[in-house]
Structure 1
Amino acid sequence: MDDVRAGTVTANGVEFGYLEAGPDGGPLALCLHGFPDSARTWRHLLPELADAGYHAVAPFMRGYAPTAVPDDGAYQTGALVADAVALHEAFGGGSDAVLVGHDWGAFATYGAVAHAPERWRRAVTLAVPPMASMMSSFFQYEQLKRSFYIFLFQTPLAEAAVNGAFVAGLWRDWSPGYDATDDVAHVMDCLAEPANLAAALGYYRAMFDPSRHVDRYAAQQEAVSAPAGRPLLYLHGADDGCLGADAFAPGGDVSAVLAHLPPGSRAELVPGTGHFLHLERPAEVNRLILDWLAAAQG
């Protein structure tokens, strides 16, 4: 992390903390994290993007300290899409910008490239397939068991349940064999205050409760399930314990995922990795990402 710098910027009315690497004048590479995680999840990718000439930026998502808890109280996915577009503007991104999203960041990426395709040249998503692909398999019994936490988070019990041990358990289940000790510590720093934890849970509560939606994000919300406007690389850990590859890519067949991606897209299972595949095999995953981004240049 020696070449990674920290800063703050205001976008969409929210003060974002972020990590960055690379030249300010390079094409913007915006990297969005998920739950339970932080911007530090991109610590292996940011320097490599910088070496490739990108201005690589990884914000802490809305409500994750040091980013502020948003005044509008919005945690629907449409708000995350609006944040991505506003961050593109705040960092002076052009049409050559690229977007990389993991978990909740993947949802935001799908929405951003559908809502404002002119802002992004290419995009990468990890660990969460397109909405249509995911929902077709979400209600399978084995997947419902894996998704217990989503239902827990709809209840008032969640605030008492989500502590360091709980988060460590999720990482252990989702990426078996990976030592997440440092990652969990950083997550808990981001969620140390009750308002920050409530914000992270708010992402899940807004999934099933439209009364939590803010009207001004309606167009962005619709974009999340709309066809993406740019080619996408989709990567998924073959041993993901959060969203099982067996549910939407049985036998390793990713054709059902590709059916919901734009022409020219690619989907790939990464063997020997779980939900946090970019941390488990950073050299392999970074190479897949950088090769995909480079292939569209020139």
Structure 2
Amino acid sequence: MNRMEPLRRIEAGVLEVAYYETGPSGGPPVLLMHGFPYDIHTYAEVAPMLAGQGCRVIVPYMRGYGATRFLSDATPRSGEQAAFGADLLALLDALKIERAVLAGYDWGGRAACVVAALWPERCAGLVSLNSYNIQNIAKAMEPDTPANEHSLWYQYYFHSERGRAGLAKDRRALTRLLWQLWSPTWKFDDATFERSAAAFDHPDFVDVVIHSYRHRFGLVPGDPAYADIERRLAAQPAIAVPAITFDGIDDGVRPPADASAHALRFSGSRSHRLVPGAGHNMPQEAPRIFADAVLELVSALHNNTAR
């Protein structure tokens, strides 16, 4: 089983970010961002595919996961979308990467979408599962269809102190259940789950997760340090960079939708694709398809630069 080691570490913003890097240092940079409740091993197969095609591949642990740590005990353990975007931007700055292809899903896809929308000069291209992944917090309390509300039960669970206690009591059992529900056709084994679940032993994992699922519904305040970013995100800014978006046909969190569902949120070129047999953790379930999408954007960038 491919373990993504050794890790590198760098101070970036409020974090010391632990990340895996592979591929030539001078290659076109690609950042691969994981979601909840997963970790960098989502990209255990994608990363070498990209490195083999000459990309410089960077896969960071997000805040609250693995070996990434907050630099100060005083920093709020925020899980808001603005924090994710700010973390990614700070990592680009720390690594002295001017522009990169950003790819991700779930929390990581949200970080990539935030940077693509607010700092498009830093994003050469975007690959995003579930398309436009920036939360519209002002409308978060509007009810959805009963079927979609049912699939979000875990978010409402985390709104309560019972949910916080449940996550703290047995984070492995709860996160494994989410893996099964969100990717019903993915037959992962115990070793694959445990390889990622070790990242959830992070001392701030529970606090970041609970804040994330409460903040997105407007139930708790955000970190004041990110208030301006949240204000800008509230306008639901369009994404102008070249984008490839996906939905997994078997996604147990977000039902698949055609391109029209998010068309107004993309002002640049965008290709939207539905992937049969894939659930919510698409990079790990369909790594070749995901890697090919990243390479498509890298190739287009190279061709445009060469003209």
Per the TM superposition, whether the score is higher than 0.5 is yes
1:271 and 1:164 mapped to 2: Cα distance?
28
The answer as to 2:238 corresponding to 1:230 is no
1:132 and 1:159 mapped to 2: Cα distance?
22
The answer as to 2:295 corresponding to 1:290 is yes
1:201 and 1:210 mapped to 2: Cα distance?
11
2:3 and 2:147 mapped to 1: Cα distance?
42
From 105, 109, 113, the counterpart of 1:110: 113
2:31 and 2:155 mapped to 1: Cα distance?
27
**CA positional deviation for 1:27:** 2.6
1:26 paired residue number: 27
The number of aligned residues is 291
Q: 1:138 to 1:289 in 2, by over 3 A?
A: farther
TM-score after normalising by structure 2: 0.86
Q: Report sequence identity in percent.
A: 27
**CA positional deviation for 1:236:** 1.2
Q: 1:33 to 1:185 in 2, by over 3 A?
A: same
2:264 and 2:273 mapped to 1: Cα distance?
13
**CA positional deviation for 1:238:** 0.8
| Pairing 1:104-183 to 2, within 5 Å after superposition | 104-127=107-130, 129-131=132-134, 139-162=144-167, 163-180=171-188, 181-183=190-192
Unaligned runs of 5+ in 1: none
From 271, 275, 279, the counterpart of 1:274: 279
**CA positional deviation for 1:255:** 1.7
2:215 paired residue number: 206
**CA positional deviation for 1:202:** 2.2
Q: 1:127 to 1:187 in 2, by over 3 A?
A: farther
2:38 paired residue number: 37
Equivalent residue letter for 1:151:
Y
2:230 and 2:275 mapped to 1: Cα distance?
30
2:208 and 2:184 mapped to 1: Cα distance?
27
2:105 and 2:243 mapped to 1: Cα distance?
13
From 192, 203, 211, the counterpart of 2:201: 192
Unaligned runs of 5+ in 2: none
User: Which contiguous aligned blocks of 4+ residues in structure 1 show a shift greater than 4 angstroms?
Assistant: 132-138
CA contact (8 A) 1:111 1:221 kept: no
The answer as to 2:82 corresponding to 1:78 is yes
CA contact (8 A) 1:114 1:223 kept: no
TM-score after normalising by structure 1: 0.88
Q: 1:223 to 1:98 in 2, by over 3 A?
A: farther
CA contact (8 A) 2:244 2:272 kept: yes
Equivalent residue letter for 1:93:
I
Q: 1:62 to 1:3 in 2, by over 3 A?
A: closer
Equivalent residue letter for 2:17:
F
2:4 and 2:222 mapped to 1: Cα distance?
38
2:89 and 2:213 mapped to 1: Cα distance?
21
Q: 1:115 to 1:165 in 2, by over 3 A?
A: same
Equivalent residue letter for 1:233:
I
1:265 paired residue number: 270
CA contact (8 A) 1:32 1:59 kept: yes
2:44 and 2:195 mapped to 1: Cα distance?
12
CA deviation map 1:181-220 (0-9, x unaligned): 3343234312225532222222212212464312221232
CA RMSD between the two structures: 2.4
CA contact (8 A) 1:4 1:46 kept: no
Q: 1:213 to 1:194 in 2, by over 3 A?
A: same
